[in-house]
Amino acid sequence: MEKRLSYRKARKGVAEQYNVSINQDIIRSLGISPDSRRVEMFYDRVNKRLIIRKSEKE
């Protein structure tokens, strides 16, 4: 799956933002719900990969 990030410019000193939409089937398979949506993100600098997984702390 290839996605394009949406972009929002910085306003009044607030940092710029990038967002991406994730398919609902993927979200459900991770066990994410409106009441349990904490995730962990890891960036692998060597392979330039962003990894997102469901947090176990919630």
Instruction: Show pLDDT as tens, one digit a residue, over the chain (58 residues).
Output: 899 999 999 888 788 999 999 999 999 999 999 999 999 999 999 999 999 999 988 6
- Residue 11, pLDDT score: 83
Q: Give the integer Cα–Cα distance in Å for 32 and 20.
A: 16
User: pLDDT value at position 22?
Assistant: 93
Q: What is the reported pLDDT for 39?
A: 94
pLDDT of residue 58: 67
Q: Which tokens is 29 given? A: 């398979």
Going from N- to C-terminal start, the domains of the chain cover 6-54
- Full-model pTM: 0.69
Distance (Å) of CA 42 to CA 10, 35, 58: 24, 22, 18
